[in-house]
Amino acid sequence: MDLAPLLREHTLQLMRVARGFTLVELIIVMAIIGLLATIVILRVASTRNKALIATMESDLRNLVTQQMSWKNDSGSYATSLPTSLWSPSTGVTGPTITLTGDGWTATVGHVSTTSTCAVYMGSTSVPPATKEGVPACSP
């Protein structure tokens, strides 16, 4: 029995297997990786915006506390507080504090988002805040 043709065919089969991936297979893998990367980037961007809004809301809650303390000490609300008592977080713009007949309103923004947040005390609300003393943000 002549083994040469059998050996030659076995060698050709090994060469075909060892060639690697086809171009179509590589393109499909790249498309899947691109799709997954897009999903991850969108999730990260959404999470980042939520974190910025949480920072602005936290600053406004702290402002409410400081305004109440200021009123208890001085008898009136302040249009601005000394930085030793209260200052916004890094990147937060404002606050814009406006005194009203029976309280005050305040709005803040952030340099990295178009969302704004607001809070009020008294009867004069400021959008998007709808409950007294509770910060609310626009999307």
The residue type found at 67 is Q
pTM of the model: 0.72
> What letter would DSSP give residue 89?
P
d(CA 67, CA 78): 7
CB of 89 within 8 A of CB of 62? Answer: no
The answer on pLDDT for 132 being more than 70 is yes
Tokens of 116: 């704004």
Note the pLDDT tens digit of each residue in 17-54: 556 788 999 999 999 999 999 999 988 888 999 999 99
